Structure 1
Amino acid sequence: MRQMLYITFSNPLWLLLFLGLPILILVYIWYVRKRSPLMFINGTSVNPKSVFSPFSPLDYLFLIRMMAIVIIILAMANPELKYRQKIRSPFSTSDIVFALDASKSMLIEDLKPNRSEALKAVLNRFVALRMEDRIGMVLYAGESINWCPLTKNSKQLLKSINSMQHNELNDGTAIGSGIVTAIKALQNSKVKNKVIVLLTDGENNAGIIDPLLAAQFAQRLHIKIYTISIGRTGFAPMPLKDLNGKTYYQKVYCTINETVLKRIAQITGGTYFKATDVGTLRTVYNQINRMEQQQQRWVYHNRYESYRLMLVCIALLLLLTETILKMTVLRTWPS
């Protein structure tokens, strides 16, 4: 975003040459136009009546040349458009890590087409809204893995999101391990605003790291954690495959420890959200995006845009036009 202020000259002393223009005009009128009874353009004589007419060939050529001189003087003075540009402060960028539950229960279809695919669609939109930030991704189930390091390469990140698998890790829900892996992904970050967006559809039942202890570790490193629970509690049909590759459904009981998720967010200065359908999940990530935008800082810089090159091109075009006219149209100006 930019706001135009005014036009200025970086070398204004060249504008003093305009004081000489009246002298050039007087010289033309006195010594050329009035005192020469017969003028020649490229060796072709011009009738004096034509010379003293209001629109003689020499008048046209002189006018074009004067315009070129005026523009050349302006170019030497270097006119610049000064404008104020609003840019995002580099100190207000964020490093964000998605810590995503990759347990097999994410394949439950209470969100359509299932929890995992619904999440991918929402994350794709979130990434598009945060192009200035570095974003990474951690997957956790019974164990955790840094699936995509922090990057501004949105294509690489989106490829990692859309290739997220649920059979790469031992099954389970090790929330504490997921938080610690996300912290490690942020440990070399130099930005002030470091964020983990933790999503799970279950409660901590694997790993050796207590989620609240991991949250305290994040708090000491000034890392904020947003926590999200996805799906509903109770029985839900989970798709499984038999030995022949045929899909069948088995009802499993889902529980979410909201108390722990709220406490993780509270310790680190984040917020807890609950998403029970696709619309709510989309709203949650939109809210997180808006909350993080409030962390942004904007600064104003004065910028200058020079018009010297454009003026030089116009002057050269005028001089070329003068030459062409002398050799074509005005060469055979009627007597």
Structure 2
Amino acid sequence: MALVFRDPLRLLLLLPVLGGALAAFWWAGRARRALTQAMGVPATIGRLLPEETALRRRLKAALQACGLSFIVLALAGPQWGVELVETAAPMRHVVIALDLSLSMLTEDVKPSRLEKAKAELSLLLEQLRGNRVGIVAFAGEPAVFCPVTMDIDAAKQILQNVKVDALPRPGTAVARALDLSAAALERYPGGKAIVLLTDGEDTVDGPARVVESARRAGAAGIQVIPVGIGTPEGEPIPLKGEDGSVLGYKKDASGGTVISRLGEPSLIEAASVSGGTYYRSSLGEVEASEIASRIAALERSQAVTGHSQRYKNKFMIPLALAFLFLLAELLVPETAPRNGRQGGGISYNDGRSGEPRGARLP
């Protein structure tokens, strides 16, 4: 078990402390001898003044020097043994909800809605470093792809590898994605936001359910920030082979080609009821910076970022020893009591003559 000091340079104070104590002891002894010589014959003064022993004076000086030395040791901050402590930092918490439904393959924005969303998120994540970010992906059902974490690089890697066939159930469950994202954020304090990237077509529960989920998130202190990916005019949904070639386009039950359009009304209302802001994806992804600025305006909270080892502070031990040594120095008398009664520094015989010892009447 290694002994270390938080501020070892303070140990240099031992030199002036001990040197000063030694000098004070020497000076006091010299002054005492000079006073004795000035008052008269040393043998006579020794009988008139209270007896002092050199041993007691040395003991008191040693106790005082030890007490002051332990105070210096306490100031240097002795440490030994280790303990685990939590590390915390002020941050915000964000969940990215990404649409992986088949309609995200639509190419009304280039190269496709999904690739456009990935480009948006890559820029956004770079500006969210220092905050916690999680990822929820959804099609007909949502799933947590990345728990809330500070590892932005891991989150970016996950987003770059997601595909529309990553989830088995077809459809677009926007409302359920909001519910799952809010659940992932509920245990965190401070400012929270859900950045929702979708074309807005909830084919599972409908637009009214999207607004209701956003309202619940807002009541929990979570802003919903939707980013609409696509155009209101829309385009057919391409069906692609493994090599990326277009094999055809999605058809409806009657055999007609399905046109996927950006459904903005429910997204705009979802932002409104939760205190967020709606953005439509642009060519230059300028909204990524605006979203990052909005998130930066959220309240930050102290969040545990990990654990670290540190030495245990033990300054109380030398401080307690210093107190004991200084207390002992105060309790040790400097003078030794004389045998018999004392009166004005003159000792009397035991009533045999009534004459003070060492005094003669003329």
TM (norm. structure 2) is 0.53
Partner AA of 1:267 in structure 2: V
Query: Quick one: distance in 1 between partners of 2:120 and 2:171?
Result: 24
The equivalent position to 1:289 in structure 2, one of 284, 292, 296, is 292
What secondary structure sits across from 1:210 in the alignment? Answer: helix
**Distance (Å, rounded) in 1 between the aligned partners of 2:135 and 2:13:** 59
Aligned counterpart in structure 2 of residue 263 of structure 1, from 257, 262, 269: 269
State the alpha-carbon separation in 1 of the partners of residues 301 and 96 from structure 2: 25
How far apart are 1:271 and its partner, in Å? 0.5
Aligned to 2:220: 221
Q: How does 1:70-81 map to 2 (within 5 A)?
A: none
Q: Quick one: distance in 2 between partners of 1:110 and 1:267?
A: 29
Q: Which moved more, 1:191-200 or 1:203-212?
A: 203-212
Q: Is there any run of 5+ residues in structure 1 with no aligned partner, and where?
A: 1-8, 18-77, 79-89, 300-335
> Does the 8 Å CA contact 1:102/1:140 hold for their aligned counterparts?
yes
Distance 1:92 1:12, change over 3 A: same
Relative to 1, partners in 2 of residues 1:296 and 1:212: Cα closer, same or farther, differing over 3 Å? closer
Residue number in structure 2 paired with 1:324: none
Alpha-carbon distance in 2 for matches of 1:293, 1:202: 25
**Other structure's SS at 1:156 match:** helix
Separation in structure 2 between the aligned mates of residue 205 and residue 125 of structure 1, nearest angstrom: 29
For 1:250-329, what aligned pairs fall within 5 Å after superposition?
A: 250=249, 252-275=258-281, 277-279=282-284, 282-295=285-298
2:175 is matched with which residue? 176
TM-superposed CA distance for 1:143, in Å, is 1.4
Residue 135 of structure 1 aligns to a residue in which SS? strand
Q: 3-state SS of the aligned residue for 2:286?
A: helix
SS for the counterpart of 1:218 is helix
State the 1:194 CA deviation: 1.1
The 1:234/1:171 distance shift into structure 2, 3 A limit, reads farther
C-alpha distance 242-160 of structure 1, shift in aligned 2 (>3 A)? closer
Alignment of 1:196-211 (within 5 A): 196-207=194-205, 210-211=209-210
Equivalent residue, structure 2, for 1:124: 122
Aligned position for 2:158: 160
Deviation at 1:118, TM superposition (A): 2.1
- Residue matched to 2:29: none
Does the CA contact (< 8 Å) of 2:230 and 2:261 recur in 1? no
- Asked if structure 1 preserves the Cα contact closer than 8 Å seen for 2:236 and 2:260, the reply is no
CA separation of 1:252 and 1:98: change in aligned 2, threshold 3 A: same
Cα deviation per residue 1:131-177 (whole Å; 9 max; x = unaligned)?
11110111112211111111111232112101112112322221111
Describe the shift of the 1:155–1:235 C-alpha distance in structure 2 as closer, same or farther (beyond 3 A): closer
Counterparts of 1:256 and 1:111, CA distance in 2: 11
1:234-263 CA distance string (max 9 Å, x none)? 241432136998523436312333222121
Equivalent runs, 1:225-240 vs 2, <5 Å: 225-240=224-239
Which residue of the partner structure matches residue 325 of structure 1? none
Q: Is the 8 A contact 2:236 2:258 kept in 1?
A: yes
Q: Structure 1 residues 193, 106: CA separation in 2 closer, same or farther (over 3 Å shift)? A: same
Partner amino acid, structure 1, of 2:272: Q
After superposition, the Cα gap between the structure-2 partners of 1:152 and 1:172, relative to the gap in structure 1 and judged at 3 Å, is same
Superposition deviation, residue 11 in structure 1: 9.3
Distance 1:295 1:10, change over 3 A: farther
Other-structure match for 1:138: 136
Do the aligned partners of 1:106 and 1:116 also contact (CA within 8 Å) in 2?
Answer: yes
User: What root-mean-square deviation, in Å, do the aligned CA atoms of Structure 1 and Structure 2 show?
Assistant: 3.3
Letter of the aligned partner of 2:107 in structure 1?
A: E
Counterpart CA distance in 1 for 2:142 and 2:300 is: 34
Give the C-alpha shift of residue 98 in structure 1.
0.6
For 1:227 and 1:127, how far apart are their aligned partners in 2? 16
Secondary structure of residue in 2 paired with 1:286: helix
For 2:243 and 2:271, locate their aligned partners in 1 and report how far apart those are by CA, in whole Å.
44
Structure 1's 93 and 109: CA in aligned 2 closer, same or farther, altered over 3 A?
A: same
Separation (CA, whole Å) in 2 of partners of 1:101 and 1:285: 17
Greater percentage in strand:
1
Q: Following the alignment from structure 1 to structure 2, what is the Cα–Cα distance between the partners of residues 125 and 101?
A: 18
SS of equivalent to 1:119? helix
The 3 A distance-change label for structure 1 pair 297 and 183 is: closer
Structure 1: which amino acid aligns with 2:271? A
CA distance in 2: counterparts of 1:11 and 1:95, whole angstroms: 45
Query: Residues 136 and 145 of structure 2 are in contact (CA less than 8 Å); yes or no, is this contact kept in structure 1?
Result: yes
Q: Would the aligned equivalents of 1:95 and 1:133 in 2 still touch at CA under 8 Å?
A: yes
Higher Cα radius of gyration: 2
Quote the Cα distance in structure 2 between the aligned partners of 1:245 and 1:258. Answer: 29
CA positional deviation for 1:297: 6.2
Q: Secondary structure at the match of 1:240?
A: strand
% same residue: 29
